[in-house]
Amino acid sequence: MASIAFETALEDISGIAPRYLTAFKRLNIKTVRDLLYHFPSRYEDYSHVYRIAELEPGQDATIQGEIYEVTGRKTWRRTYYVTEAVITDGEDSIRAVWWNQPYLRNTLRHGARVNISGKVSVNERGELFFSNPAFEFIHAHEEAHDATHTARIVPIYRETHGLTSKGIRYILRPILENVDVEEFLPEAVLEREGFPTLRPALHAVHFPDELAETEAAKRRFAFEDLFLLELTNARERARLSKESALSVPFPAARRKKIISSLPFALTDSQAHALDEILEDIAKPHPMNRLLQGDVGSGKTIVAGIAAMAAGEAKYQTAIMAPTEILAYQHYETFKKFFSDFAGGIALLTGSAARIFLGEGLERETKKAELHSAIRAGRISIVIGTHALIEKKVTLPHLALVVIDEQHRFGVEQRAALMREDAVPHFLSMSATPIPRTLALTIFGNLNVSQITELPKDRKEIITKVVAPENRLKAYAFIKEFVEKGRQAFVICPRIIPSNIEPGGMLDAATLARLDMKNVTEEYEKLSKKIFPDLSVAMLHRKLKPKEKASVMKAFSDGKIDILVSTSVIEVGVDVPNATIMMVESAERFGLAQLYQFRGRVGRGAHQSFCLLFTESTSEATQKRLEAVARAKNGFELAEEDLKLRGPGEFLGTIQTGMPDIAMKALQHPTLIPKARSAAGELLKKGGDYCLSPLLQNKLVAFKKQIHWE
């Protein structure tokens, strides 16, 4: 095979069948680089080659020998096809059995030398045999370490339908042997930290001779990601410090008047965060700040006061939310608490266009008319979704951009709101209780403000982990509160039931999917069997925007007693009368999501409850859920769980909302200060001019890899 460039598309490499290319795309693997950075999830150690006489039941082992006999037959019920081979090492022999792989009858040849790797089983007669082992033909000139699938430490990868780990290894190894790689980390950094260079690191992570090799390689790749992230953040901070922004003054008297008009007092941390934001936007250089706070802590009010400041200075503010539900919620909040603002507040989403002009003056409008009003500067505050970045939308006096749940938006989407003459001030908000260590790394180009307390009138949400045997009691508990006039959420991790393909293997992952609760079946069960006399509705992302808005309005208006939903309600739903949050298959969500779900209730004067249901008997699962039940503060929960289990466990597997790169890298927290220091040292030598062309290209590619959505 000729030398292969790192960024070569897999479809340009001869010999890879189209069906494999399709399967690779399902794993988001399109280039050689993607494939080489598709690291193993675990390893099986078959490196020790045993004599057949040394084998023991239950052992994972490799033998080398010669195929003595091959037979094939259907079972007596004609359900399965069984292929059997007898392998001898010259002294003893053992059978290997494969199920439902009839082609092996012609593949396994009498007299061929093979490696056999797998688990040693024992039948009812006490005879040892290999069940569905990996096998590999060995030629006369080859040694054990020349093998790819057997007689070595074998990498196991994340797979997909039609592409097994064996298939990945088969395609990856010759590419790895022939790829043209260039080291881009500074030589001084490699030497100081003792990291392997790129090519040896790739070999060590995919085909190690010893497991100890993989640890050094993994640290190198974790550092690599963190170094690129820190370098990207440092360059962004340097760039913004040279940019101009519109200075937004806010006289103390006006600020005091707006705050005193609110029907509640700001908490101390709200006031502190507001001070930091107003001080930033008064400067002629762009603010770049992250505002963190638990669900219901009052982030929107703080952002709203900053938007009022921009509006009164005759500038515009764009507030961008990831969902129509959240955009509508923000719009309603602004109408309620800033009702005397006459500068114009608009809602613009895929399905809605509304204008509020203060003192109860509100109307629906056509999008073209709203676009015109925004372009003419007659609207000071525009609240919306992705619709804000359409080409038809122009904000000529844009001074402030507020992005809610910023990790759900891509870099390009945020960039679309930039001005040509001056960079707007950016305020990013997040209710995900991101640990400070994680926030300072991922959002390293931002200053961080935290709202650490809830409004003083909020009651503590009583949270319980519910065992399966107490399900009926929980249903009775829910009905009792609904009959008192309250409402409830029921959250499921899936929309529809999981299906398995005919003949599919019922492995642990498949069984877990089958056990997961889903909205469709739970809605049918609850509406027809459990609560037939109550009003039950369902909500999920596959509904049309107008349908979702209609369901949420009916729930907000109290016309729906129980709402069965997916995590679409995780962000931005505010229904003070909803007092019960019931989460099905709670172990399928990250702790941050569970904390967000819990924050959907407890927003009114009534006592609220969060019920976490799980069928899992795992001790680890119980500990995680009990941690949520005990948590009084999202940030404390986040920090503690990061220490115990790492960021992947905290943020979950269904919808992390964080870049995979940073998540993997943060499994090595001690590397964070090293990466930050190395990035700073490099830029001090001369800014971008000191970066090699290869490293600059790497940074460009890296920014494209970071997915915030």
Distances in whole angstroms, Cα of residue 29 to Cα of each of 25, 183, 509, 697? 5, 22, 22, 20
Based on the domain organization, do 502 and 545 belong to the same domain?
A: yes
Structural element, H or E, at residue 135: strand 134-137
**In this predicted structure, what is the pLDDT of residue 665?**
55
Residues in the chain predicted with pLDDT less than 50, given as ranges, are: 410-411, 499-514, 648-659, 707-709
469 and 340 in one domain? Answer: no
Same domain, 419 and 379: yes
Sequence-distant (6+) residues with CB within 8 A of 126 are none
**Number of domains the chain contains:** 3
- Please report which helix (H) or strand (E) contains residue 654, including its range: none
What is d(CA 248, CA 280) in angstroms, rounded to the nearest whole number?
9
Kindly write down the DSSP assignment for every residue of 632-694, as one continuous string: S-HHHHHHHHHHHH-HHHHH-SS---S-HHHHHHTT-TTHHHHHHHHHHHHHHTTGGGGS-HH
Radius of gyration for the alpha carbons in the chain, expressed in angstroms and rounded: 30
Residue 365 lies inside a defined structural domain of this protein: yes
Domain termination residue (choose one: 579, 610, 631): 631
Domain that holds residue 270: 252-282+298-430
The domain that holds 476 is classified in CATH as: 3.40.50.300
Residues 257 and 335 reside in one and the same domain: yes
Q: What is the pLDDT of residues 494-545, one digit of tens each?
A: 887 754 443 333 343 433 444 568 898 999 999 999 999 999 999 988 888 7
Give the residue from 631, 649, 682 where a domain finishes. Answer: 631
Domain end among 104, 135, 166 = 135
d(CA 614, CA 338): 43
- Terminal C-alpha separation, the chain: 38
Contact 161, 500 (CB under 8 A): no
Answer whether residue 550 is part of any domain. yes
CATH for 130: 2.40.50.140
If we measure between CA atoms, which residue out of 51, 316, 18, 289 comes closest to residue 171?
18
Residue 591 lies in a domain: yes
The pLDDT value recorded for residue 644 is: 54
Residue 618 CB neighbours (<10 A): 10
Report the C-alpha gap between 383 and 416 in whole angstroms.
15
Do you know the residue count of the chain? 709
Q: What gap in Å lies between CA 615 and CA 583, rounded to an integer?
A: 12
pLDDT of amino acid 506: 34
Per DSSP, 618 falls in state -
* Same domain (yes/no): 274, 422: yes
| pTM for this entry | 0.64
483 with 404, same domain: the answer is no
Q: Tell me, what's the pLDDT at 619?
A: 83
Instruction: State the pLDDT at residue 316.
Output: 96
Check residue 631 and give its pLDDT. 80
Q: Assess whether 425 and 467 both reside in one domain.
A: no
DSSP 52: G
Residues 415 and 475 in one domain: no
On whether the CB atoms of residues 68 and 74 are closer than 8 A, the answer is no
Contact 661, 225 (CB under 8 A): yes
3-state secondary structure of 72: strand
CA atoms of 509 and 455, how far apart (whole Å): 42
C-alpha–C-alpha distance, residues 388 and 370, integer Å: 11
Contacts of 416 (CB under 8 A, 6+ apart): 389
Q: Are residues 497 and 607 in the same domain?
A: yes
The confidence score (pLDDT) of residue 502 equals 37
Q: Do 588 and 506 share a structural domain? A: yes
Cα atoms in the 13 Å half-sphere on the side-chain side of 665 = 27
The reply to whether 21 falls in a domain is no
Q: What gap in Å lies between CA 540 and CA 567, rounded to an integer?
A: 8
Q: What is the pLDDT of residue 650?
A: 44
Do residues 480 and 614 share a domain?
A: yes
What pLDDT was estimated at residue 504? 39
Residue 385 within a domain: yes
Shared domain for 489 and 544, answered yes or no, is yes
